[in-house]
Structure 1
Protein backbone atom coordinates (compact mmCIF):
# COMPACT_ATOMS: atom_id res chain seq x y z
CA UNK A 1 0.00 0.00 0.00
CA UNK A 2 1.46 3.35 -1.05
CA UNK A 3 1.49 6.17 1.46
CA UNK A 4 -0.52 9.35 0.85
CA UNK A 5 1.44 12.20 -0.70
CA UNK A 6 3.15 14.28 1.96
CA UNK A 7 2.09 17.90 2.35
CA UNK A 8 4.28 20.42 0.59
CA UNK A 9 6.37 22.69 2.83
CA UNK A 10 4.66 26.07 2.99
CA UNK A 11 1.14 24.58 3.04
CA UNK A 12 -1.13 26.58 5.36
CA UNK A 13 -3.32 24.65 7.83
CA UNK A 14 -6.05 26.24 9.90
CA UNK A 15 -5.20 29.75 8.77
CA UNK A 16 -1.94 30.18 10.68
CA UNK A 17 -0.02 26.89 10.87
CA UNK A 18 2.65 26.53 8.17
CA UNK A 19 3.84 23.04 7.23
CA UNK A 20 7.61 22.54 7.22
CA UNK A 21 9.75 19.48 6.57
CA UNK A 22 8.41 15.96 7.04
CA UNK A 23 9.65 14.35 10.28
CA UNK A 24 8.04 10.95 9.98
CA UNK A 25 5.35 9.22 7.90
CA UNK A 26 3.50 5.94 8.27
CA UNK A 27 0.36 4.23 7.13
CA UNK A 28 -1.86 6.10 9.60
CA UNK A 29 -0.45 9.60 9.39
CA UNK A 30 2.54 11.91 9.29
CA UNK A 31 4.36 14.37 11.53
CA UNK A 32 5.82 17.63 10.21
CA UNK A 33 7.84 20.48 11.56
CA UNK A 34 5.80 23.65 11.47
CA UNK A 35 5.40 27.18 12.74
CA UNK A 36 2.43 29.00 14.24
CA UNK A 37 2.30 32.49 12.76
CA UNK A 38 -0.25 33.57 15.37
CA UNK A 39 2.32 32.94 18.14
CA UNK A 40 5.31 34.86 16.75
CA UNK A 41 6.27 31.94 14.48
CA UNK A 42 6.49 29.52 17.39
CA UNK A 43 7.98 26.19 16.24
CA UNK A 44 5.61 23.26 16.54
CA UNK A 45 5.06 19.67 15.49
CA UNK A 46 2.02 19.09 13.28
CA UNK A 47 0.63 15.56 13.47
CA UNK A 48 -1.65 14.63 10.58
CA UNK A 49 -4.05 11.67 10.86
CA UNK A 50 -5.24 10.29 7.52
CA UNK A 51 -8.18 8.27 8.84
CA UNK A 52 -11.13 10.37 10.02
CA UNK A 53 -13.66 7.58 10.50
CA UNK A 54 -15.64 8.03 13.71
CA UNK A 55 -13.40 5.56 15.59
CA UNK A 56 -10.17 7.20 14.38
CA UNK A 57 -11.52 10.65 15.16
CA UNK A 58 -12.43 9.57 18.71
CA UNK A 59 -8.90 8.22 19.17
CA UNK A 60 -7.32 11.44 17.89
CA UNK A 61 -9.53 13.50 20.21
CA UNK A 62 -8.56 11.20 23.09
CA UNK A 63 -4.87 11.90 22.42
CA UNK A 64 -5.55 15.63 22.29
CA UNK A 65 -7.70 15.71 25.43
CA UNK A 66 -5.11 13.83 27.49
CA UNK A 67 -2.22 16.07 26.50
CA UNK A 68 -4.30 19.26 26.76
CA UNK A 69 -4.78 18.59 30.48
CA UNK A 70 -1.38 17.21 31.51
CA UNK A 71 1.63 19.42 32.18
CA UNK A 72 4.95 17.65 32.53
CA UNK A 73 8.45 18.29 31.13
CA UNK A 74 8.39 14.61 30.14
CA UNK A 75 5.22 14.78 28.03
CA UNK A 76 4.60 16.95 24.94
CA UNK A 77 2.22 19.88 25.20
CA UNK A 78 -0.69 20.09 22.75
CA UNK A 79 -1.58 23.57 21.53
CA UNK A 80 -4.50 22.93 19.19
CA UNK A 81 -6.59 20.30 17.40
CA UNK A 82 -8.46 20.82 14.14
CA UNK A 83 -9.98 19.03 11.17
CA UNK A 84 -9.22 20.27 7.64
CA UNK A 85 -10.25 18.72 4.32
CA UNK A 86 -10.97 15.31 5.78
CA UNK A 87 -7.75 15.13 7.81
CA UNK A 88 -7.30 15.56 11.56
CA UNK A 89 -4.38 17.63 12.89
CA UNK A 90 -2.78 17.96 16.31
CA UNK A 91 -0.54 20.98 16.85
CA UNK A 92 2.02 20.05 19.48
CA UNK A 93 5.21 21.14 21.15
CA UNK A 94 8.20 20.38 18.94
CA UNK A 95 10.54 18.07 20.86
CA UNK A 96 14.07 18.23 19.50
CA UNK A 97 16.53 15.38 20.00
CA UNK A 98 17.01 11.74 19.10
CA UNK A 99 14.82 8.88 20.17
CA UNK A 100 16.14 6.10 22.35
CA UNK A 101 16.08 3.61 19.49
CA UNK A 102 18.40 5.83 17.44
CA UNK A 103 20.75 6.18 20.40
CA UNK A 104 20.84 2.45 21.02
CA UNK A 105 21.51 1.68 17.37
CA UNK A 106 24.39 4.13 17.37
CA UNK A 107 25.97 2.26 20.28
CA UNK A 108 25.08 -1.37 19.56
CA UNK A 109 27.45 -3.53 17.44
CA UNK A 110 26.40 -3.27 13.81
CA UNK A 111 23.52 -0.99 14.75
CA UNK A 112 21.48 -3.99 15.94
CA UNK A 113 19.44 -3.67 19.11
CA UNK A 114 18.13 -6.67 21.00
CA UNK A 115 19.41 -9.28 18.53
CA UNK A 116 22.17 -10.73 20.72
CA UNK A 117 21.56 -13.84 22.79
CA UNK A 118 21.57 -13.22 26.56
CA UNK A 119 24.94 -14.94 26.98
CA UNK A 120 26.61 -12.75 24.38
CA UNK A 121 26.42 -9.52 26.34
CA UNK A 122 27.74 -8.82 29.81
CA UNK A 123 26.30 -5.31 29.80
CA UNK A 124 24.03 -3.14 27.70
CA UNK A 125 24.91 -0.13 25.55
CA UNK A 126 24.01 2.37 28.29
CA UNK A 127 25.15 2.94 31.84
CA UNK A 128 22.87 2.28 34.79
CA UNK A 129 23.01 5.97 35.69
CA UNK A 130 21.91 6.97 32.19
CA UNK A 131 18.98 4.58 32.08
CA UNK A 132 17.74 5.57 35.52
CA UNK A 133 17.98 9.26 34.60
CA UNK A 134 15.51 8.53 31.78
CA UNK A 135 13.21 5.98 33.37
CA UNK A 136 12.60 7.50 36.81
CA UNK A 137 11.19 10.81 35.47
CA UNK A 138 9.07 8.88 32.98
CA UNK A 139 7.70 6.82 35.87
CA UNK A 140 6.58 10.08 37.46
CA UNK A 141 4.88 11.06 34.19
CA UNK A 142 3.09 7.70 34.08
CA UNK A 143 2.03 8.17 37.68
CA UNK A 144 0.37 11.43 36.65
CA UNK A 145 -1.50 9.66 33.83
CA UNK A 146 -2.45 6.61 35.90
CA UNK A 147 -3.69 8.72 38.83
CA UNK A 148 -6.47 10.17 36.68
CA UNK A 149 -9.98 8.81 37.16
CA UNK A 150 -10.33 6.75 35.09
CA UNK A 151 -6.61 6.08 34.62
CA UNK A 152 -5.04 7.02 31.29
CA UNK A 153 -2.92 4.33 29.60
CA UNK A 154 -0.28 5.09 26.97
CA UNK A 155 -0.08 1.49 25.61
CA UNK A 156 2.81 2.05 23.20
CA UNK A 157 5.94 2.64 25.30
CA UNK A 158 9.02 1.61 23.32
CA UNK A 159 12.45 3.07 22.48
CA UNK A 160 11.19 4.79 19.33
CA UNK A 161 8.63 6.74 21.38
CA UNK A 162 11.09 8.08 23.97
CA UNK A 163 13.00 11.16 22.82
CA UNK A 164 16.10 12.45 24.58
CA UNK A 165 16.41 16.21 24.26
CA UNK A 166 19.80 17.97 23.97
CA UNK A 167 19.80 18.49 27.77
CA UNK A 168 19.14 14.75 28.24
CA UNK A 169 15.50 15.10 29.30
CA UNK A 170 13.46 12.03 28.38
CA UNK A 171 10.09 12.82 26.77
CA UNK A 172 7.41 10.21 26.06
CA UNK A 173 5.77 10.76 22.68
CA UNK A 174 3.03 9.28 20.47
CA UNK A 175 -0.19 8.99 22.42
CA UNK A 176 -2.01 7.63 19.36
CA UNK A 177 -3.00 4.44 21.20
CA UNK A 178 -4.00 6.15 24.44
CA UNK A 179 -7.01 4.67 26.19
CA UNK A 180 -8.92 5.20 29.41
CA UNK A 181 -8.69 2.14 31.60
CA UNK A 182 -11.83 0.03 31.70
CA UNK A 183 -11.33 -3.44 33.22
CA UNK A 184 -14.36 -4.74 31.32
CA UNK A 185 -13.26 -3.74 27.81
CA UNK A 186 -10.63 -4.88 25.33
CA UNK A 187 -8.97 -3.23 22.35
CA UNK A 188 -9.43 -4.09 18.70
CA UNK A 189 -6.18 -2.47 17.56
CA UNK A 190 -3.94 -5.45 18.20
CA UNK A 191 -1.89 -5.01 15.04
CA UNK A 192 -0.88 -1.49 16.05
CA UNK A 193 -0.73 -1.93 19.80
CA UNK A 194 1.90 -4.66 20.15
CA UNK A 195 5.69 -4.19 20.09
CA UNK A 196 7.65 -7.39 20.52
CA UNK A 197 9.93 -7.25 23.53
CA UNK A 198 8.14 -4.32 25.14
CA UNK A 199 4.42 -5.17 25.18
CA UNK A 200 3.23 -7.39 28.05
CA UNK A 201 1.52 -10.69 27.31
CA UNK A 202 -1.96 -9.37 28.12
CA UNK A 203 -1.63 -6.81 25.34
CA UNK A 204 -1.41 -9.61 22.77
CA UNK A 205 -4.97 -10.65 23.66
CA UNK A 206 -6.34 -7.12 23.74
CA UNK A 207 -6.29 -6.56 27.49
CA UNK A 208 -4.31 -3.74 29.03
CA UNK A 209 -4.14 -1.96 32.38
CA UNK A 210 -1.94 0.76 33.89
CA UNK A 211 0.40 -2.04 34.97
CA UNK A 212 0.97 -2.78 31.26
CA UNK A 213 2.59 0.64 30.88
CA UNK A 214 4.80 -0.03 33.92
CA UNK A 215 5.95 -3.32 32.39
CA UNK A 216 6.73 -1.70 29.03
CA UNK A 217 8.74 1.10 30.62
CA UNK A 218 10.51 -1.32 32.95
CA UNK A 219 11.64 -3.39 29.97
CA UNK A 220 13.94 -0.51 29.04
CA UNK A 221 16.13 -1.39 32.04
CA UNK A 222 17.65 -4.17 29.88
CA UNK A 223 19.79 -1.54 28.17
CA UNK A 224 22.35 -1.33 30.98
Structure 2
Protein backbone atom coordinates (compact mmCIF):
# COMPACT_ATOMS: atom_id res chain seq x y z
CA UNK A 1 0.00 0.00 0.00
CA UNK A 2 2.93 2.33 -0.38
CA UNK A 3 5.32 3.57 -3.02
CA UNK A 4 9.10 3.66 -2.86
CA UNK A 5 11.01 6.07 -0.66
CA UNK A 6 12.43 9.26 -2.10
CA UNK A 7 15.09 9.51 0.58
CA UNK A 8 16.44 7.21 3.26
CA UNK A 9 19.08 7.82 5.89
CA UNK A 10 19.75 4.16 6.59
CA UNK A 11 19.09 2.63 3.19
CA UNK A 12 16.12 0.52 4.29
CA UNK A 13 14.27 -0.98 1.33
CA UNK A 14 10.50 -1.18 1.28
CA UNK A 15 8.40 -4.04 -0.02
CA UNK A 16 6.40 -3.43 -3.19
CA UNK A 17 3.59 -5.41 -1.60
CA UNK A 18 2.56 -2.19 0.14
CA UNK A 19 1.46 -0.51 -3.09
CA UNK A 20 -2.23 -0.29 -3.95
CA UNK A 21 -4.58 -0.31 -6.92
CA UNK A 22 -2.98 -3.36 -8.51
CA UNK A 23 0.60 -2.13 -8.31
CA UNK A 24 1.68 -4.61 -5.67
CA UNK A 25 4.28 -7.23 -6.47
CA UNK A 26 1.90 -10.04 -5.52
CA UNK A 27 -1.28 -10.73 -3.60
CA UNK A 28 -0.80 -12.12 -0.10
CA UNK A 29 -3.69 -13.82 1.66
CA UNK A 30 -4.38 -15.57 4.96
CA UNK A 31 -5.60 -19.13 5.24
CA UNK A 32 -9.18 -17.86 5.31
CA UNK A 33 -8.71 -16.03 2.01
CA UNK A 34 -8.49 -12.50 3.40
CA UNK A 35 -6.08 -10.27 1.53
CA UNK A 36 -3.36 -8.74 3.69
CA UNK A 37 -0.25 -6.56 3.45
CA UNK A 38 3.03 -7.71 4.97
CA UNK A 39 6.10 -5.83 6.12
CA UNK A 40 9.40 -7.50 7.15
CA UNK A 41 9.67 -7.45 10.93
CA UNK A 42 13.36 -6.53 10.96
CA UNK A 43 12.63 -3.24 9.16
CA UNK A 44 10.58 -1.84 12.06
CA UNK A 45 12.29 0.94 13.97
CA UNK A 46 10.04 0.35 16.99
CA UNK A 47 8.13 -2.98 17.22
CA UNK A 48 5.86 -1.48 19.88
CA UNK A 49 4.09 0.43 17.11
CA UNK A 50 2.92 -2.86 15.60
CA UNK A 51 1.68 -3.91 19.03
CA UNK A 52 -0.31 -0.69 19.30
CA UNK A 53 -1.78 -1.02 15.82
CA UNK A 54 -2.92 -4.52 16.76
CA UNK A 55 -4.80 -3.36 19.86
CA UNK A 56 -6.03 0.11 18.85
CA UNK A 57 -9.18 0.55 16.80
CA UNK A 58 -9.55 3.62 14.60
CA UNK A 59 -10.89 4.26 11.08
CA UNK A 60 -7.80 6.41 10.55
CA UNK A 61 -5.22 3.72 11.35
CA UNK A 62 -4.37 0.39 9.69
CA UNK A 63 -4.96 -2.67 11.82
CA UNK A 64 -2.11 -5.05 12.55
CA UNK A 65 -3.33 -8.66 12.48
CA UNK A 66 -0.24 -10.42 13.75
CA UNK A 67 3.17 -11.80 12.88
CA UNK A 68 4.06 -14.48 10.35
CA UNK A 69 5.81 -17.58 11.61
CA UNK A 70 9.36 -18.43 10.58
CA UNK A 71 9.94 -17.33 7.01
CA UNK A 72 11.48 -19.64 4.47
CA UNK A 73 14.54 -17.42 4.35
CA UNK A 74 15.02 -17.30 8.13
CA UNK A 75 17.33 -19.45 10.17
CA UNK A 76 17.07 -20.48 13.79
CA UNK A 77 14.05 -20.39 16.05
CA UNK A 78 12.33 -17.40 14.50
CA UNK A 79 9.15 -17.98 16.44
CA UNK A 80 10.97 -17.51 19.71
CA UNK A 81 12.70 -14.44 18.36
CA UNK A 82 9.34 -13.02 17.33
CA UNK A 83 7.97 -13.44 20.83
CA UNK A 84 11.06 -11.79 22.28
CA UNK A 85 10.81 -8.86 19.87
CA UNK A 86 7.24 -8.00 20.77
CA UNK A 87 6.95 -9.02 24.40
CA UNK A 88 10.48 -8.61 25.76
CA UNK A 89 10.81 -6.50 28.88
CA UNK A 90 13.07 -4.03 27.09
CA UNK A 91 10.09 -2.87 25.01
CA UNK A 92 7.42 -2.88 27.72
CA UNK A 93 8.36 0.34 29.47
CA UNK A 94 4.97 2.06 29.33
CA UNK A 95 1.84 1.13 31.23
CA UNK A 96 -0.01 0.37 28.02
CA UNK A 97 2.23 -2.59 27.17
CA UNK A 98 2.36 -4.22 30.59
CA UNK A 99 0.84 -7.70 30.64
CA UNK A 100 0.13 -7.76 26.92
CA UNK A 101 0.27 -11.06 25.06
CA UNK A 102 2.63 -11.42 22.09
CA UNK A 103 1.22 -10.77 18.64
CA UNK A 104 -0.57 -13.84 17.23
CA UNK A 105 1.24 -15.86 14.60
CA UNK A 106 -0.43 -16.17 11.19
CA UNK A 107 0.13 -18.26 8.09
CA UNK A 108 0.19 -16.35 4.81
CA UNK A 109 0.24 -17.49 1.22
CA UNK A 110 2.67 -17.04 -0.34
CA UNK A 111 4.81 -17.26 2.78
CA UNK A 112 7.09 -14.21 3.18
CA UNK A 113 10.81 -14.92 2.89
CA UNK A 114 11.39 -13.46 6.36
CA UNK A 115 9.28 -13.04 9.48
CA UNK A 116 6.86 -10.21 8.74
CA UNK A 117 4.17 -8.07 10.32
CA UNK A 118 0.73 -8.69 8.83
CA UNK A 119 -1.78 -5.87 8.25
CA UNK A 120 -5.33 -5.81 7.03
CA UNK A 121 -5.66 -4.79 3.40
CA UNK A 122 -7.23 -1.36 2.95
CA UNK A 123 -9.30 -0.89 -0.20
CA UNK A 124 -8.75 2.58 -1.54
CA UNK A 125 -6.35 4.88 -3.34
CA UNK A 126 -3.14 6.57 -2.37
CA UNK A 127 -3.82 10.27 -1.90
CA UNK A 128 -1.31 10.88 -4.69
CA UNK A 129 -3.67 9.11 -7.13
CA UNK A 130 -6.76 11.20 -6.38
CA UNK A 131 -7.69 13.38 -9.35
CA UNK A 132 -7.49 17.15 -8.88
CA UNK A 133 -11.14 17.43 -9.95
CA UNK A 134 -12.11 15.40 -6.88
CA UNK A 135 -10.27 17.68 -4.46
CA UNK A 136 -11.68 20.59 -2.52
CA UNK A 137 -10.66 22.58 0.52
CA UNK A 138 -13.33 20.78 2.54
CA UNK A 139 -12.20 17.26 1.69
CA UNK A 140 -8.51 18.11 2.11
CA UNK A 141 -9.15 19.52 5.57
CA UNK A 142 -11.17 16.44 6.48
CA UNK A 143 -8.26 14.20 5.44
CA UNK A 144 -5.89 16.47 7.34
CA UNK A 145 -7.93 16.04 10.51
CA UNK A 146 -8.41 12.30 9.94
CA UNK A 147 -4.65 11.81 9.94
CA UNK A 148 -4.14 14.01 13.00
CA UNK A 149 -6.90 12.18 14.88
CA UNK A 150 -5.30 8.82 14.13
CA UNK A 151 -1.87 9.93 15.31
CA UNK A 152 -3.28 11.65 18.40
CA UNK A 153 -5.25 8.55 19.40
CA UNK A 154 -2.20 6.34 18.91
CA UNK A 155 -0.14 8.63 21.15
CA UNK A 156 -2.89 8.66 23.76
CA UNK A 157 -2.99 4.86 23.84
CA UNK A 158 0.79 4.60 24.03
CA UNK A 159 1.03 7.03 26.93
CA UNK A 160 3.84 8.84 25.12
CA UNK A 161 4.18 10.95 21.96
CA UNK A 162 4.43 8.98 18.73
CA UNK A 163 5.80 10.15 15.40
CA UNK A 164 5.26 8.46 12.03
CA UNK A 165 8.25 10.26 10.46
CA UNK A 166 7.61 9.01 6.91
CA UNK A 167 4.46 10.81 5.77
CA UNK A 168 3.90 11.57 2.09
CA UNK A 169 0.97 11.33 -0.35
CA UNK A 170 2.06 7.76 -1.11
CA UNK A 171 1.71 6.74 2.55
CA UNK A 172 -1.80 8.17 2.92
CA UNK A 173 -4.67 5.99 1.71
CA UNK A 174 -8.12 7.36 1.00
CA UNK A 175 -10.39 4.46 1.89
CA UNK A 176 -13.63 3.69 0.08
CA UNK A 177 -15.43 5.22 3.07
CA UNK A 178 -13.78 8.57 2.29
CA UNK A 179 -11.61 8.47 5.41
CA UNK A 180 -7.87 9.11 5.20
CA UNK A 181 -5.49 6.83 7.04
CA UNK A 182 -1.74 6.53 7.28
CA UNK A 183 0.04 3.34 6.29
CA UNK A 184 3.62 2.08 6.57
CA UNK A 185 4.43 2.70 10.22
CA UNK A 186 7.71 0.77 10.05
CA UNK A 187 9.71 3.96 10.54
CA UNK A 188 7.44 5.25 13.34
CA UNK A 189 8.45 5.16 16.97
CA UNK A 190 7.33 6.00 20.46
CA UNK A 191 9.37 9.07 21.40
CA UNK A 192 10.63 7.86 24.76
CA UNK A 193 14.14 6.83 23.77
CA UNK A 194 13.27 3.13 23.90
CA UNK A 195 12.86 2.38 20.19
CA UNK A 196 14.82 -0.51 18.74
CA UNK A 197 16.48 1.63 16.06
CA UNK A 198 18.90 4.39 17.14
CA UNK A 199 17.72 7.96 16.66
CA UNK A 200 20.40 8.46 14.01
CA UNK A 201 18.71 5.81 11.85
CA UNK A 202 15.49 6.97 10.27
CA UNK A 203 13.50 7.05 7.07
CA UNK A 204 12.57 10.30 5.39
CA UNK A 205 11.16 11.49 2.09
CA UNK A 206 12.86 14.40 0.40
CA UNK A 207 10.64 17.46 0.28
CA UNK A 208 8.30 16.20 3.00
CA UNK A 209 10.70 15.88 5.93
CA UNK A 210 10.68 18.77 8.42
CA UNK A 211 13.90 20.80 8.83
CA UNK A 212 14.62 19.45 12.31
CA UNK A 213 14.81 15.88 10.98
CA UNK A 214 18.14 16.77 9.38
CA UNK A 215 19.36 18.30 12.65
CA UNK A 216 18.86 15.07 14.56
CA UNK A 217 15.52 15.79 16.24
CA UNK A 218 12.62 13.35 16.18
CA UNK A 219 9.41 15.18 17.10
CA UNK A 220 5.69 14.58 16.67
CA UNK A 221 5.44 18.09 15.22
CA UNK A 222 7.56 16.86 12.32
CA UNK A 223 4.50 14.92 11.17
CA UNK A 224 2.48 18.15 11.00
CA UNK A 225 5.00 19.57 8.55
CA UNK A 226 4.92 16.42 6.41
CA UNK A 227 1.11 16.29 6.37
CA UNK A 228 0.92 19.91 5.19
CA UNK A 229 3.49 19.28 2.47
CA UNK A 230 1.55 16.19 1.38
CA UNK A 231 -1.71 18.16 1.16
CA UNK A 232 -0.08 20.93 -0.86
CA UNK A 233 1.69 18.46 -3.11
CA UNK A 234 -1.56 16.83 -4.28
CA UNK A 235 -3.35 20.19 -4.42
CA UNK A 236 -0.63 21.59 -6.69
CA UNK A 237 -0.24 18.30 -8.59
CA UNK A 238 3.51 18.23 -8.15
CA UNK A 239 6.12 16.70 -5.89
CA UNK A 240 6.99 18.54 -2.68
CA UNK A 241 10.57 18.80 -3.92
CA UNK A 242 9.48 21.21 -6.65
CA UNK A 243 7.15 23.36 -4.56
CA UNK A 244 8.35 26.96 -4.16
CA UNK A 245 7.29 29.63 -1.69
CA UNK A 246 5.39 31.29 -4.51
CA UNK A 247 3.52 28.14 -5.57
CA UNK A 248 2.68 27.32 -1.96
CA UNK A 249 1.36 30.81 -1.40
CA UNK A 250 -0.76 30.58 -4.55
CA UNK A 251 -2.12 27.20 -3.48
CA UNK A 252 -3.03 28.47 -0.02
CA UNK A 253 -5.05 31.30 -1.55
CA UNK A 254 -7.33 28.75 -3.21
CA UNK A 255 -8.14 27.04 0.08
CA UNK A 256 -10.53 28.16 2.80
CA UNK A 257 -8.81 30.89 4.88
CA UNK A 258 -9.04 28.96 8.14
CA UNK A 259 -7.55 25.81 6.61
CA UNK A 260 -4.93 27.84 4.78
CA UNK A 261 -3.84 29.31 8.10
CA UNK A 262 -3.58 25.86 9.69
CA UNK A 263 -1.34 24.66 6.87
CA UNK A 264 0.78 27.79 7.18
CA UNK A 265 1.34 27.00 10.85
CA UNK A 266 2.38 23.46 9.95
CA UNK A 267 5.07 24.79 7.62
CA UNK A 268 6.74 26.89 10.31
CA UNK A 269 10.42 26.17 10.88
CA UNK A 270 9.67 26.29 14.61
CA UNK A 271 8.00 23.01 15.65
CA UNK A 272 6.27 24.73 18.57
CA UNK A 273 4.41 27.08 16.22
CA UNK A 274 3.00 24.12 14.32
CA UNK A 275 0.79 23.22 17.28
CA UNK A 276 -1.46 26.16 16.39
CA UNK A 277 -2.72 24.03 13.49
CA UNK A 278 -4.38 21.61 15.90
CA UNK A 279 -8.06 21.94 16.61
CA UNK A 280 -9.05 22.82 20.16
CA UNK A 281 -10.41 19.31 20.61
CA UNK A 282 -7.25 17.66 19.29
CA UNK A 283 -4.81 15.98 21.61
CA UNK A 284 -1.60 17.97 21.84
CA UNK A 285 1.22 15.88 20.38
CA UNK A 286 3.71 16.86 23.06
CA UNK A 287 3.53 18.53 26.44
CA UNK A 288 4.19 22.24 26.79
CA UNK A 289 7.16 21.46 29.03
CA UNK A 290 9.00 19.43 26.39
CA UNK A 291 12.23 21.13 25.39
CA UNK A 292 13.09 21.20 21.69
CA UNK A 293 16.79 21.04 20.95
CA UNK A 294 16.24 22.44 17.46
CA UNK A 295 14.97 25.79 18.76
CA UNK A 296 17.08 28.22 20.73
CA UNK A 297 14.54 30.95 21.47
CA UNK A 298 14.71 32.40 24.96
CA UNK A 299 11.52 32.87 26.92
CA UNK A 300 11.74 36.66 26.78
CA UNK A 301 12.09 36.52 23.00
CA UNK A 302 8.84 34.68 22.40
CA UNK A 303 5.75 36.67 21.34
CA UNK A 304 3.13 37.34 23.95
CA UNK A 305 -0.58 37.97 23.83
CA UNK A 306 0.17 41.69 24.25
CA UNK A 307 2.01 41.91 20.91
CA UNK A 308 0.23 43.63 18.03
CA UNK A 309 -1.21 40.86 15.84
CA UNK A 310 -0.46 40.94 12.10
CA UNK A 311 -3.69 41.71 10.21
CA UNK A 312 -2.65 39.52 7.27
CA UNK A 313 -2.44 35.79 6.73
CA UNK A 314 0.12 34.12 4.50
CA UNK A 315 -2.42 33.94 1.70
CA UNK A 316 -3.42 37.65 1.81
CA UNK A 317 -0.20 39.47 2.77
CA UNK A 318 0.59 42.18 0.15
CA UNK A 319 4.20 42.45 1.34
CA UNK A 320 4.87 38.84 0.40
CA UNK A 321 3.49 39.53 -3.07
CA UNK A 322 6.01 42.37 -3.47
CA UNK A 323 8.79 40.11 -2.20
CA UNK A 324 7.88 37.58 -4.88
CA UNK A 325 8.18 40.23 -7.60
CA UNK A 326 11.54 41.44 -6.26
CA UNK A 327 12.92 37.91 -5.99
CA UNK A 328 11.65 37.08 -9.46
CA UNK A 329 9.96 33.83 -8.47
Specify the TM-score bucket, using the shorter chain as the normaliser. Answer: 0.5 to 0.7
Change (3 A) 1:180 1:168: same
Change (3 A) 1:42 1:63: same
Q: SS at 1:66's partner residue?
A: helix
The answer for unaligned runs of 5 or more in structure 2 is 6-12, 18-25, 75-113, 236-254, 256-329
Normalised by the size of structure 2, how large is the TM-score?
A: 0.47
Structure richer in strand, relative to its length:
1
Q: By how many angstroms is 1:24 displaced? A: 6.5
Partner of 1:200: 210
Aligned length: 175
Q: SS at 2:129's partner residue?
A: helix
Q: By how many angstroms is 1:25 displaced? A: 7.3
Q: By how many angstroms is 1:178 displaced? A: 0.9
Q: Computing the radius of gyration over CA atoms, which structure comes out larger, 1 or 2?
A: 2
Change (3 A) 1:203 1:25: closer
Partner of 1:158: 168
Q: By how many angstroms is 1:133 displaced? A: 1.9
1:173 paired to 2:165:
no
Change (3 A) 1:142 1:25: closer
Change (3 A) 1:45 1:194: closer
Change (3 A) 1:128 1:146: same
C-alpha distance in 1 between matches for 2:231 and 2:127: 12
Partner of 1:74: 60
Matched-pair contact (CA < 8 Å) for 1:68–1:79: yes
Q: CA RMSD in A?
A: 3.0
Partner of 2:199: 187
Matched-pair contact (CA < 8 Å) for 2:2–2:183: no
Q: By how many angstroms is 1:69 displaced? A: 2.5
C-alpha distance in 2 between matches for 1:169 and 1:33: 24
Q: By how many angstroms is 1:60 displaced? A: 6.4
Q: SS at 1:91's partner residue?
A: strand
C-alpha distance in 2 between matches for 1:134 and 1:23: 17
